[in-house]
Structure 1
Amino acid sequence: MRISDLSRQTGMSTATIKFYIREGLLPPGRLTARNQAVYSECHLRRLQLIRALTTVGGLGLASVRTLLEAIADDDLPLAELYAIVNRTICAHDPVIDEIVAEEPVREDVDRFFETLGWDPDSPARQHIVAMMGTLRSLGGADGMDFFLPHARAAAELAEQEMDLLPSDGMKTDRAAAVLRAVLFGEVLSSLRRLAQEHQAAQRFRAA
């Protein structure tokens, strides 16, 4: 297919597609003439993946580049692939890093991680510390115990997600796995908001 076909099928402008090629996010097509190239279904799927990660997943191009490189590395163990996904999503955030939580908050979060057996070095920890520190300072939450049932439910959901992969990890569609890792979080966040809205309507509906 030609670049115009890619544009039509993805809804991206040809200028955007050419930009992705220049930036190395999309491989060049096969040249058929000096200024013409043809593209394959692989190019189409890569563009669809980029669009999903940026528009639906809300990731920047630098993050997308990191994930594309990880997907392309067949020697990268799946466990490390998921670690890269989560490190990318929880990448260095100057705003979060500027929030200094009190020691009791950090200790509470550390105990929470220890109870669940989760990696305390995960970048998600700093996000949780910052958010809990902010919540506690404004009277929005007392401690991490409130989130223990949520964490256990999240563990079950993560187990279900892993069950979608081949049992031995071989022949895994790595692009699909990364896309699920990013977008499932968005789905779960939306479900929580819907449930919250429903509960508020049920409990506080005007008579």
Structure 2
Amino acid sequence: MRISDLSRQSGVPVGTIKFYLRERLLPPGEPTGRNQALYNKNHLRRLRLIKIFTSIGELDLTSVRRLLIAAEEEHLSSIELFEVLNEVSMAGKDTAAEEDESLELARADANRIIDASGWEVNPDAAARSHLTLALAAMRRLGCDCDPDFLDVYREAADRLARHEVGRIANDRTARIEALARNVLLHQAFAAMRQLGQQHHLSRRFGLVPANQGTADDGDRS
């Protein structure tokens, strides 16, 4: 297909595709003449993956390039590959925290959660630090963070992780798709959690969603 067809099918402007080609985020097409080339379904697939990482995953192009390169490095294990995803997901975010009692207690809580789950993870895993920072912030705000409250999240996380990992194929061609699927599932779960919250808030406090109230009012008139 020509670059115009690639643009139409992917929804990515021609100018952006040319930029990706210059930056080597997209492999070159098959030359057919001066400044002309043909592209195939692999180019279309790569463009769709880049769109997932940049739009839904909200990653910058530097992080996307790092993921694409990591996915093609055969010496990297699946654990190391997903650690790269965890690291780039926090790139540019303020993860600095002052050493205080809350942070020390949160670090102990994070270790307790990991030990209680039987998770064998690296001591310097990015997610361990992210969990510690979140728990420390919860403590400072006086939020619920006792073991009984957090156990529900720990158990749910373990079930979800086991379910997701069971679908990962350990071959190079599927590795980048596995990363993209992880990004999409993260967003899908967040959306479902928000929908569940809306439902249970309305049940608990007797609230009626705005669109439902409007429909009911129309029925009564």
Shorter-chain TM-score range: 0.7 to 0.9
CA RMSD of aligned residues (A): 2.1
3-state SS of 1:173 partner: helix
Cα drift, residue 144 of structure 1: 4.7
Q: 2: distance between equivalents of 1:10 and 1:89?
A: 24
Structure 2 unaligned segments of length 5 or more: list them.
Answer: 209-221
Cα drift, residue 43 of structure 1: 0.7
**Percent of aligned positions with the same letter in both sequences?**
41
The answer on whether the counterparts of 1:82 and 1:181 sit within 8 Å (CA) in structure 2 is no
Q: 2: distance between equivalents of 1:50 and 1:144?
A: 39
> Which range moved further: 107-116 or 4-13?
107-116
Specify the code of the residue in structure 2 equivalent to 1:40.
Answer: N
Q: 1:159 aligns with which of 159, 162, 165?
A: 162
Residue in 2 that maps onto 1:86: 86
Residue in 1 that maps onto 2:62: 62
Q: 1:137 to 1:64 in 2, by over 3 A?
A: same
Detail structure 1 runs of 4+ shifted over 6 Å in the superposition. Answer: none
Tell me the TM-score normalised to structure 2 length.
Answer: 0.83
Residue in 1 that maps onto 2:144: 141
Q: 1:27 to 1:172 in 2, by over 3 A?
A: closer
Specify the code of the residue in structure 2 equivalent to 1:15.
Answer: G
Tell me the TM-score normalised to structure 1 length.
Answer: 0.88
3-state SS of 1:128 partner: helix
3-state SS of 1:97 partner: coil
Q: 2: distance between equivalents of 1:26 and 1:116?
A: 40
Matched, 1:126 2:129: yes
Residue in 2 that maps onto 1:183: 184
| Bigger Rg over Cα | 2
Residue in 2 that maps onto 1:114: 115
Cα drift, residue 86 of structure 1: 2.2
Q: How does 1:65-76 map to 2 (within 5 A)?
A: 65-76=65-76
Which digits, 9 at most, give the CA deviation of each residue in 1:122-178, with x for residues without a partner?
112222222222222122223354222222221111111122234xx3476222211
Q: How many residues align?
A: 204
Q: 1:172 to 1:115 in 2, by over 3 A?
A: farther
Which digits, 9 at most, give the CA deviation of each residue in 1:19-51, with x for residues without a partner?
111111001112211111111111111001101
3-state SS of 1:96 partner: coil
Residue in 1 that maps onto 2:195: 194
Specify the code of the residue in structure 2 equivalent to 1:159.
Answer: R
Q: 2: distance between equivalents of 1:64 and 1:109?
A: 29
Q: 1: distance between equivalents of 2:95 and 2:6?
A: 38
